[in-house]
Amino acid sequence: MISKYDRCMDCDKVLPKQTIRRQNKTRCENCKRYKLKQKRKISQEGWKESVYVEEESFFEDDPKAIKEKDYGKISRNQTQVMSKTIMDDFG
Q: pLDDT at residue 1 above 70?
A: no
Q: Mind giving me the DSSP string for 24-71?
A: S-B--HHHHHHHHHHHHHHHHHT-------GGGSS-PPPHHHHH----
Strand partners of residue 14: 7
pLDDT, tens only, 5-49: 688 888 888 888 888 887 778 888 999 999 999 888 877 777 777
pLDDT, tens only, 37-82: 988 887 777 777 778 888 777 777 778 877 777 777 777 787 777 7
The model's pTM: 0.41
